[in-house]
Amino acid sequence: MHEYVELTFRSERTGYFLNTKDLALEPDMYVIAKVERGEDIGQISNCAITDSDIDKKCDKGEISKILRIATEADYKQLGIVEKKEQEAKEKFLQLVKKYPFEMKLLDTYYQLDGNKLTFFFSSDGRIDFRDFVRELATEFKTRIELHQTSGREDARRYGGLGICGKTYCCCTFLKKFNQVTIQMAKDQNLLSNLSKISGPCGRLLCCLHYEEDFYIQQSEGFPKLEELVMYKDKKMYVLKNDYYNSKVNLISDDEERSTISLDEYKELKRQNGKKRN
């Protein structure tokens, strides 16, 4: 029996839950779990939870319990909930017309027991929707949550194919979004065309994070960008490092370019050092 499992809910939210009843659980199985405001249905996405993951969640008080394996009655209730979600979506679109802001409604999710209704939307910039939330709560008579999504969340929600030809990482194995920075693109010599290293979500490709450790490790033996070296009696600067082929690309003030091996570069620096002495 698995003591802890990870669930993925219909809203794409994930969480760790405790199997206190020693239920025979397996990946992809649907179960009913105790959540903040009642019960919800989720699919088991992981039964192999590490102790470090659990310790972090326990410290924050984020571990709840699995109540039961989903039954026919639960699936019937889910069908009812999905119909209500469509009605809620239509009502939302009617009500939002009265307000001065623009919101693109992406998804609508009821908790299985109806105790919470979540609307996922996208919008340019931040919106003060407090009055709108109050009207929605009055209309639906349940707890309302408005969640403004990011481009990456939208990509995960709708799916698609990346420039590599494969399904987005965030729709397959990627559990959480890692921070991807311009510095990573710089470390990997990819700053020349940002559009080619940006995903459909409009953000830098998640895969830049995968190879960052390799480039950091390789860079330890290479010169820093813009480092000065005398080459053929001419001042030249490091333009780019070719970590795979152990080469260094140089450029002069008048944009003359040369490519030499890393060993050649190190020998040049040694000779330059001797001349200064």
Q: Is residue 50 part of a domain?
A: yes
User: pLDDT class for 177, splitting at 50, 70, 90?
Assistant: confident
pLDDT of 50: 62
Q: Is residue 154 part of a domain?
A: no
Q: Is residue 123 part of a domain?
A: yes
CA distance 162 to 174: 14
Strand partners, 69: 31
Report percent pLDDT > 90 for the chain: 29
pLDDT of residue 43 exceeding 60: yes
* pLDDT (tens digit per residue) in 220-257: 888 888 888 888 888 889 888 888 888 999 999 888 89
Q: Is residue 159 part of a domain?
A: no
More confident residue, 66 or 125: 66
Q: Is residue 160 part of a domain?
A: no
CA distance 13 to 40: 11
CA-nearest of 223, 213, 217 to 263 is 223
- What CATH code is carried by the domain that includes residue 240? 2.30.30
pLDDT of 76: 96
Say yes or no: 243 and 271 in one domain: yes
Q: Is residue 255 part of a domain?
A: yes
pLDDT of 13: 84
Among 70, 86, 110, the domain-final residue is 70
CA-nearest of 135, 146, 148, 145 to 95 is 135
Asked whether the whole model's pTM tops 0.75, one would answer: no
CB 27 within 8 A of CB 45: yes
Say yes or no: 23 and 66 in one domain: yes
Among 13, 42, 70, the domain-final residue is 70
User: pLDDT class for 275, splitting at 50, 70, 90?
Assistant: low
* pLDDT (tens digit per residue) in 116-129: 999 999 887 788 88
More confident residue, 21 or 156: 21
- Least confident segment among 27-31, 68-72, 160-164: 160-164
Say yes or no: 87 and 144 in one domain: yes
* pLDDT (tens digit per residue) in 12-31: 888 889 888 888 888 899 99
pLDDT of 60: 53
Q: Is residue 125 part of a domain?
A: yes
Report percent pLDDT > 70 for the chain: 92
Strand partners, 261: 247
Range of the domain at 145: 76-149
Q: Is residue 156 part of a domain?
A: no
- Least confident segment among 24-28, 55-59, 198-202: 55-59
Number of domains in the chain: 4
Among 19, 35, 70, the domain-final residue is 70
Say yes or no: 89 and 43 in one domain: no
Say yes or no: 13 and 58 in one domain: yes
**Average pLDDT across the chain, whole number:** 85
Token pair in block for residue 220: 């330890």
User: pLDDT class for 146, splitting at 50, 70, 90?
Assistant: very high
